[in-house]
């Protein structure tokens, strides 16, 4: 047990899917896992462990933003032995050719700052996905017929951004979408020798102004969860 995860060590699988929303973790576990068991509810951050096609999987919320994710990912890796961590979440598209409900596989994750900045200091470390996971996730998405994009994303420190110049610069440099967690997940995975990937579904569009209604978000995320699971156990 840790300060934030009440589970016993053997209750956490080596493969962990990490949505930001704890209720989405509950929905994903109940929808895709066999015999899911609640293993954590400290501070309302829900975690469940079950099986998928005979493979043990934990689905655990990360909270919003890199500082929150860094706590849970660090504890899952260092205290519970997690080896493969896949973020599953929503993202805001930053390119016109990316459409609502499309799936984005984050090859790299740019940022202004992450919780790891104090460790890297003067180094501009380049956080990136595990290539094996990225490749198998892409193959899984293609086989499902999902509209999938692979490339760089931007992990932001803020949700209500007041920097239109920053959005323009990211868009001009081909960044596909913005979210708030992946860069630090990739940092932690690199530091501890783990595999990591962010599989994201477009729920908002910074170019067109479109937004998925709350009720549609959950129903649109099923492909993303299946892609993540297939990538982990390919």
**Catalytic residues, which ones?**
204
What's the angle, vertex CA 168, arms to CA 91 and CA 119, rounded to 5? 65
Structure tokens at 95: 């390119």
24: helix, strand or coil: helix
Tell me if 47 is assigned to a ligand binding site: no
Tell me if 181 is assigned to a ligand binding site: yes
* E strands in the chain: 15-18, 34-40, 47-52, 55-60, 84-93, 103-110, 148-155, 177-179, 195-205
Tell me if 192 is assigned to a ligand binding site: no
Tell me if 90 is assigned to a ligand binding site: yes
DSSP for residue 11: G
Tell me if 88 is assigned to a ligand binding site: yes
Tell me if 59 is assigned to a ligand binding site: no
Among left, alpha and beta (phi > 0; psi -120 to 50; other), residue 220 is alpha
Tell me if 172 is assigned to a ligand binding site: no
Tell me if 20 is assigned to a ligand binding site: yes
**Under 8 Å between Cβ of 111 and 216:** no
Tell me if 152 is assigned to a ligand binding site: no
**Under 8 Å between Cβ of 140 and 232:** no
**Which residues participate in the annotated binding site for a purine D-ribonucleoside?**
4, 179-181, 203-204
Annotated binding site for phosphate: 20, 24, 43, 87-90
The binding site comprises: 4, 20, 24, 43, 87-90, 179-181, 203-204
């Amino acid at each position: 047990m840790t300060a934030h995860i009440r589970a016993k060590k053997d209750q956490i699988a080596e493969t962990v899917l990490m949505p930001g929303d704890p209720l989405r973790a509950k929905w994903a576990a109940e929808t895709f896992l066999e015999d899911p068991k609640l293993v954590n509810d400290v501070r309302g951050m829900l975690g469940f462990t079950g099986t998928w096609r005979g493979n043990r999987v934990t689905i655990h919320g990360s909270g919003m933003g890199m500082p929150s994710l860094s706590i849970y990912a660090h504890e899952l890796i260092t205290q519970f032995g997690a080896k493969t961590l896949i973020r599953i979440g929503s993202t805001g598209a930053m390119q016109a050719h990316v459409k609502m409900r499309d799936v984005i596989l984050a090859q790299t994750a740019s940022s202004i700052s992450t919780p790891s900045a104090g460790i890297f200091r003067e180094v501009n470390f380049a956080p990136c996905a595990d290539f094996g996971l990225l490749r198998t996730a892409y193959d899984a998405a293609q086989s499902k017929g999902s509209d999938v994009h692979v490339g760089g994303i931007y992990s932001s420190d803020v949700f209500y951004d007041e920097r239109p110049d920053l959005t323009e610069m990211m868009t001009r440099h081909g960044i596909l979408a913005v979210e708030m967690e992946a860069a630090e997940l990739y940092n932690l995975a690199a530091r501890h020798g783990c595999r990591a990937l962010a599989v994201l579904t477009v729920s908002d569009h910074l170019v067109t102004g479109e937004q998925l209604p709350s009720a549609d978000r959950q129903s649109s995320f099923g492909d993303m969860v299946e892609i993540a699971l297939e990538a982990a156990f390919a």
